[in-house]
């Protein structure tokens, strides 16, 4: 029998997909914050290793369009955030007006009103700086 890499089973993955969809885990164990935190860890490890994380995310979450974007313009950052459901800032070396903002976004296919949820935790203080710099008003921050 072929060994499977990792410890997350199909039911665990389905819990994560469910909370991303509607904020509810049928098993009552996973929260949207848990899911965004786990994805954030995956994105940052991938970024540091120079590995593209989007193909596996697209496989696990096929109802979402996943994008990695490098944006320099404040208005474009604001627009991208308001058009997306989930947003992660992946570069911790943001320098206002000198360096592109690097985002990973997930947007549910066919959703009419995006959630615009931005992951922001203590490990990423630059996220708040980017929000302020880009002029995003009333951001929907998600963190632990």
Residue 1 lies in a domain: no
Residue at 26 is within a domain? yes
Q: 20-28 long-range contacts, Cβ below 8 Å, gap at least 24?
A: 20/61, 20/64, 20/86, 20/106, 21/63, 21/108
Residue 117 within any structural domain of the chain? yes
Q: Which two tokens stand for residue 24?
A: 């509810």
* Integer Cα distance of 90 and 130 in angstroms: 11
Note whether residue 2 is domain-resident: no
What is the span of the domain harbouring residue 84? 10-142
Asked if residue 47 is part of any domain, the answer here is yes
pLDDT digits (tens, 9 = 90+) for 15-74: 788 888 878 777 777 888 888 999 999 999 999 899 999 999 999 999 999 999 999 888
Tell me, yes or no, whether 4 lies in a domain: no
How many domains would you assign to the chain? 1
In a domain, 111, yes or no: yes
Terminal Cα distance for the chain, rounded: 38
pLDDT digits (tens, 9 = 90+) for 103-127: 999 999 998 899 999 998 777 777 8
pLDDT in tens, 79-96: 999 999 999 988 766 666
Q: Do the Cβ atoms of 101 and 77 come closer than 8 Å?
A: yes
């Amino acid at each position: 029998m072929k060994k499977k890499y990792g410890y997350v089973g199909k039911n665990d993955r389905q819990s994560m997909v469910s909370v991303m969809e509607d904020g509810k885990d049928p098993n009552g164990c996973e929260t949207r914050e848990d899911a965004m935190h786990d994805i954030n860890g995956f994105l940052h490890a991938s970024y540091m290793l120079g590995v593209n994380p989007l193909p596996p995310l697209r496989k696990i979450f096929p109802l979402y369009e996943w994008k990695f974007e490098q944006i320099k313009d404040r208005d474009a950052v604001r627009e991208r955030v308001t058009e997306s459901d989930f947003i992660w800032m992946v570069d911790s070396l943001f320098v206002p007006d000198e360096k592109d903002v690097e985002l990973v976004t997930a947007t549910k296919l066919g959703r009419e009103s995006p959630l615009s949820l931005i992951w922001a935790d203590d490990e990423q203080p630059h996220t708040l700086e980017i929000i302020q710099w880009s002029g995003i008003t009333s951001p929907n921050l998600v963190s632990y």
